[in-house]
Structure 1
Amino acid sequence: MSGSDQNNTPSASDPGGGPQPGPFGVVREGGSSERVRVLVAAFEGWNDAGDAATDTVKFLRENYSAREIFEVSPDEYYDYQYSRPQMTRSATGEPKLVWPSTKLSAASVEGTNLDLVLLHGWEPSYRWRGFCAEILEQAARMDVDFIVMVGALLADVPHTRPIPVSITSDTEELQDELDVTGSEYEGPSGIVGVLSHLAAVSGIPTVSLWAAVPHYVAQPPSPKAQLALMRRLEDLLTLSFPLEELEEDAEAWERGVNELAEDDPEIAAYVAKLEEAKDTTDLPEASGDAIAQEFERFLRRREQD
């Protein structure tokens, strides 16, 4: 993809100017015919609090009917005493053994110049460098233009407020385009951080999205965190996903946690403390950036209707 494509940004204030590319150069029909290939990756395990990250990739895979194109050999990278295979049954009772694995699937987004490559995997037990090299080799073969790493972590955040999603990039051109900084994290890293770093070093522009899941409701699913990640992906890819069902699930999840908190005074007091801290440090939700992002989402939905 050419540098001129990457430097054009969407303009909601110029609806008559034709389709405008987003930060990754994704446009709708009538715009550039040059294809843009984006790999979106998530891993089960340490980097997947509440299953929010892998559920995000599953949503994309199902919504766009992605087809499997590659599987990393599991015997090379997994300790089956830790990541055990699962015995399942079909509707007729036939047994099927499902091994921990990492798979790539692909789909083209109709009405756009976007091709998605979706990675859903398990964090490996061994040979992380070889594992990442194999994935990046496949990305290079498929001419992937950008990589989006998706993760979720447990944090001291209240379930009653918008789920924070941080976005970082170690790719200078994306830092400028997205007005973000590089990660400042220091400490133990999961496979998401390792693959993100090695992808950027290899020259593939890479972005990392991290949702903060309330640690006191860590059990999956976490639809509110997944919804927050999906919203961020909408902005990056300039797409509009059918999120009505997920929005309903997120509202039901929040109501359920509210009911649990009401029955436990200690939890209720703790949530109130988190709310106070959140409200003190956050900018107003109706900030100019938030309003602009919501307006752009509205325009994308109107184009699809």
Structure 2
Amino acid sequence: MAHGNGFLGGRLLVVAFEGWNDAGEAATGAVRTLQELLALNEIAAVDPELYFDYQFNRPTISANDEGKREIEWPGAVMYGPEAPGIASIPLAEDAQLQISGTNAGNIYLLVGTEPSRSWKSFAAEILDAALAADVSGMVFLGAMLADVPHTRPISIFVSSDNPSVRAELQIERSNYEGPVGILSVLSDAAETVGIPTLSIWASVPHYVHNAPSPKAVLALIDKLEEIIDVVIPRGDLVSEAAEWETGINALAADDDEMAAYIAQLEQARDTVDSPEASGEAIAHEFEQYLRKRGDGRDGRDGWADGRPAGDGPG
């Protein structure tokens, strides 16, 4: 990947939201993994009263470390390093538990719940905070449910609407047209004020949509590590991803219909991934998907031109 004064040359805000953009909790899972590994402070938070319908996104109550019961409200919080641009030097015992690399001190995070209303005002508030922090690029993480098998590598699509970013990172532009979520709104607002953006989307098997997908979290982190030029410790994610796959295998072993369906998905995926697969064959596979899944149901946005469109990748 390119360096210098390009997309990787400044402060990068990595963004994920619970809700429509977060199948298998993969996107927020990836950002929360980064949050655990980085020494970051809260630098901005939205007022939930302005943006959330509490009957749709209900607050939760739990006990804190002191045993006191506290209510947690839906919202969105931005985190940033104490000393931007300076990568922390891990202690010897923590060397495997912290993000490293020349870009590690330039990572900011934004994580929260997709707002229920006032998206334009929400985007303006987020962009004001990003500009105040001198953020120079935004990376949006998303995950959608798709007709893909859990036994194969998680499909990842990287895109950008910014010509300079596409040229620098050799990525594509999404051709998706249709309903979008808050990621597309924020991306459009960022590009309008001069902050370049890119999107990284993971495809999560739709037949396991009720459970978190550590395999998709791992796939997003793998691609994010490559894009933003840092080394991200995987912790227990590798073993958790293997256990997730093993657990689904066990379920399928007791369900002939599910096993047959997964076998069909595997065959379709292997056909698309084979060296002999032509552009026409690949296009045909995803045209079939569009006809079946183009309504954006089940918490995903659909695919376009053989690419996960989701919340407007890019």
Tell me if the contact between 1:48 and 1:152 (Cα under 8 Å) persists in the aligned partners.
yes
Of the two structures, which has the highest relative contact order with CA contacts closer than 8 Å and spacing of 6 or more? 2
Question: Counterpart of 1:142 in structure 2: which amino acid?
Answer: A
Tell me if the contact between 1:169 and 1:175 (Cα under 8 Å) persists in the aligned partners.
yes
In 2: Cα distance, 1:123 partner to 1:209 partner: 17
Q: Structure 1 unaligned runs (5+)?
A: 1-8, 11-19, 27-35, 285-305
Name the residue aligned to 2:290.
none
In 2: Cα distance, 1:177 partner to 1:167 partner: 13
CA shift for structure 1 position 55: 0.7
Percentage of pairs with the same residue: 48
Tell me if the contact between 2:7 and 2:168 (Cα under 8 Å) persists in the aligned partners.
no
Name the residue aligned to 1:120.
111
Deviations 1:198-239 (A, max 9, x none): 212222110011100000011232100000000111111111
Q: Does structure 1 residue 194 correspond to structure 2 residue 185?
A: yes
- TM-score, length of structure 2 as denominator length: 0.78
Q: Does structure 1 residue 262 correspond to structure 2 residue 253?
A: yes
CA shift for structure 1 position 197: 2.1
Moved over 4 A (4+): 20-23
The 5-angstrom pairing of residues 1-305 of structure 1 reads 9=1, 24-25=7-8, 36-107=10-81, 109-110=87-88, 112-113=102-103, 114-283=105-274
CA shift for structure 1 position 22: 9.9
Tell me if the contact between 2:160 and 2:172 (Cα under 8 Å) persists in the aligned partners.
yes
Tell me if the contact between 1:157 and 1:212 (Cα under 8 Å) persists in the aligned partners.
yes
Q: Structure 2 unaligned runs (5+)?
A: 89-100, 276-314
Name the residue aligned to 2:279.
none
Tell me if the contact between 1:23 and 1:236 (Cα under 8 Å) persists in the aligned partners.
no
CA shift for structure 1 position 282: 1.6
What is the SS of the residue equivalent to 1:136?
helix
- TM-score, length of structure 1 as denominator length: 0.81
What is the SS of the residue equivalent to 1:145?
strand
Question: Counterpart of 2:47 in structure 1: which amino acid?
Answer: S
CA shift for structure 1 position 24: 3.4
Question: Counterpart of 1:166 in structure 2: which amino acid?
Answer: F
In 1: Cα distance, 2:154 partner to 2:142 partner: 13
What is the SS of the residue equivalent to 1:247?
helix
Tell me if the contact between 1:22 and 1:237 (Cα under 8 Å) persists in the aligned partners.
no
In 2: Cα distance, 1:179 partner to 1:234 partner: 16
What is the SS of the residue equivalent to 1:227?
helix
Give the length in aligned residue pairs: 258
What is the SS of the residue equivalent to 2:217?
helix
Q: CA RMSD in A?
A: 1.7
In 1: Cα distance, 2:6 partner to 2:269 partner: 29
Tell me if the contact between 1:49 and 1:220 (Cα under 8 Å) persists in the aligned partners.
no
What is the SS of the residue equivalent to 1:100?
coil
